[in-house]
Amino acid sequence: MSAFPGYVVVDGFIDADRADQILRSIHAYAGLNAPPLVVRESGRRPLHYRVIDGLAIRDHLPQLEALSREVNGFVNELTGARLAPMQNPQAQLNVNITPPGGSYRWHYDRNAVTALLYLNSVDGGCTELYPNYRVGRGRTSVARLADRVLGTPVIMRVAGRKVSIEPVPGRLLVMNGQRSLHSVTAVRSGADRVNVVMSFDDDEVAARPGDELDTYLYSSQPVSAAIAQFRSSITNRKCSSAWRTCR
């Protein structure tokens, strides 16, 4: 993991036919079940998307679990770490569906490494990230203050190096999401943007199901002001050893 540069983009991780096949399954499921629409205010780039969580995937889209295993092997090879799907079954494997006008707020992940597999091309909907941008671990009040300062647009422009990745079918983005500030720009028009989100973490990191963060990310229910206003970092969870190696 020491040689891992913060993010890697792999084009053609799966071929177009397979991407299309997966997309069709997601179409079928979403058309019948209308996954929850999550809208959370967050400045100019709010959280506005639909999500199929890991529990629904386990029952209705099990082929994505096979895909996640393939990506897991690739990620471990890439990073040299022994990572596994996050133990939280709701969060470890998701499908994000961002409608036209929708976006995903700036955030860090609660897990060490995140892989995004894009299934279609749309106008807008780019993943923007600042690789290895975070200072500290986000656990202490000082680190949280640093997250907030680094998360302001001016500081981001001055201190960061922004990378923008367009969604292309079959393209895989692997990033150390716990250290790289990232978001999704607004989808401008046309089709919904669809991608698979695979969250990997150190084997030793314990599951924390029922976290309020899960309510925030996977439902339209209200959450406490504290989590809703937590602007620059979605979580302050303890970093895994895999991440410490990565630094």
Q: What residues line the site for another protein (CB under 8 A)?
A: 23, 25-35, 37, 50, 59-63, 97, 99-100, 190-192, 194
Other Cβ atoms within 10 Å of 226 Cβ, number: 8
> 3-class DSSP state for residue 105?
strand
First vs last Cα of the chain: how many Å apart? 9
What minimum distance in Å lies between the beta carbon of 129 and another protein? Answer: 24
Using DSSP's 3-state secondary structure scheme, residue 171 falls into: coil
Which residue lies nearer to another protein by CB, 112 or 122?
122
CB of 113 to another protein, least distance (A): 26
Residue 201, both tokens: 């973490």
Torsion of CA 132, 135, 141, 144, to 10 degrees: -40
Query: Could you tell me the two tokens for 175?
Result: 């990033």
Q: Nearer to another protein by C-beta: 67 or 172?
A: 67
Residue 104 CA to its chain's centroid (Å): 9
Greatest alpha-carbon span in the chain: 48
Length of the chain equals: 247
Residue 7 or 49: the one with the smaller Cβ distance to another protein is 49
Give the shortest CB-134-to-another protein separation in angstroms: 32
Tokens of 213: 């963060």
Give the nearer residue to another protein in terms of CB position, either 122 or 174. Answer: 122
Closest separation between CB of residue 92 and another protein, Å?
A: 18
31 vs 222 by CB, closer to another protein: 31
Minimum CB–partner distance for residue 203 and another protein (Å): 26
